């Protein structure tokens, strides 16, 4: 029976009937796919310990023989990395859950996104090992996700007068959610209802982590203020732009308030 083999990160798993699961994966070679894991609740040999959220797996799939429009069948799974350190930390779990919910909602099925796969894998590994703080890696993930998804905001210069961020005299600028751009204080005619004031320093650091080699991401040191402001900006702009609130993000915000 024809099929394929690929590396995959588990994005979502829902029960289907008494014994099956329908699973969404972000795969290295085929983009986001939905598959059915038949008898997964009973088949210890084929699926044991390998179908947890955001785990990295080597999967083997087959196409349905009779119904060409039916779900792809998950035949075999080999766990590559379960990211155990994430699962034992509620904050790390909340961040990782936000990333995968964002990807699951935004991506179309069967559209190859190898760079996004690499970004998610890098971010999960970094937060699992603690190589980069969970707050900074989340900023990196979000700003790069926007670039790869085609709606990267303009944080380099004022959208009106084109003055570069470095040459704007004021310490703060306005970020307009509606337009996805920054506007200097001199060019503001009517303040948008959807936006916020952001410091130039925070925007410079976001620009740096979006454009430098990802392997050097651990070299930048965000101040606590820049982390907080960056979180407010990206976690407000992304849901606004996509037009959806994310349950995992709401949970993450509650955790921060309770900390």
Please state the rounded mean pLDDT for residues 166-175. Answer: 92
CATH number of the CATH domain containing 163: 1.20.1440.120
Share of the chain above pLDDT 90, in %: 60
Report the number of distinct structural domains present in the chain.
2
Same domain? 106 vs 133: yes
The angle at the Cα of 111, spanning 106 to 115, to the nearest 5 degrees, equals: 80
Q: Rounded to 5 degrees, what are φ and ψ at 171?
A: -80, -15
With bands split at pLDDT 50, 70 and 90, how would you rate the model's confidence at 43? low
Pull the structure tokens for residue 242. 């996509």
Q: What pLDDT, on the 0 to 100 scale, is given for residue 65? A: 79
**For residue 89, what is the DSSP state?**
-
Name the range with the highest mean pLDDT among 33-47, 59-73, 150-164: 150-164
Element (H, E) at 137: helix 134-149
Q: Is the pLDDT of residue 202 over 90?
A: yes
Helices (H) and strands (E) in the chain, counts: 8, 9
Same domain? 35 vs 116: no
What is the CB-side half-sphere exposure of residue 255 using CA atoms within 13 A?
A: 14
3-state secondary structure of 189: coil
**What number of other Cβ atoms are within 10 A of residue 27's Cβ?**
22
Final residue before a domain boundary, out of 82, 100, 133? 82
Model pTM score: 0.91
């Amino acid at each position: 029976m024809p099929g394929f083999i690929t590396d995959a990160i588990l994005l979502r798993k829902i029960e289907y009937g008494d014994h099956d699961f329908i699973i969404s994966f972000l795969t290295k070679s085929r983009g986001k796919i939905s598959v059915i894991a038949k008898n997964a609740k009973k088949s210890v040999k084929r699926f044991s310990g390998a179908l947890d959220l955001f785990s990295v797996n080597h999967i083997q799939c087959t196409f349905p023989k009779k119904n060409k429009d039916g779900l792809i069948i998950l035949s075999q799974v080999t766990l590559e990395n379960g990211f155990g350190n994430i699962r034992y930390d509620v904050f790390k779990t909340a961040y990782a859950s936000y990333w995968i919910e964002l990807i699951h909602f935004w991506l179309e099925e069967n559209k190859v996104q190898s760079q996004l796969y690499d970004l998610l894998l890098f971010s999960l590994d970094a937060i699992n090992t603690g190589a980069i703080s969970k707050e900074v890696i989340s900023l990196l993930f979000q700003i790069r996700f926007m670039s790869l998804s085609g709606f990267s905001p303009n944080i380099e210069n004022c959208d009106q007068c084109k003055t570069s961020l470095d040459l704007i005299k004021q310490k703060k600028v306005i970020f307009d959610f509606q337009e996805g751009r920054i506007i200097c204080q001199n060019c503001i005619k009517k303040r948008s209802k959807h936006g916020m004031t952001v410091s130039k320093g925070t925007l410079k650091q976001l620009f740096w982590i979006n454009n430098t080699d990802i392997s050097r991401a651990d070299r930048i040191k965000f101040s606590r203020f820049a982390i907080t402001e960056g979180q407010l900006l990206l976690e407000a702009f992304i849901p606004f732009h996509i037009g959806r609130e994310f349950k995992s993000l709401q949970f993450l915000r509650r955790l921060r308030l309770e900390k």
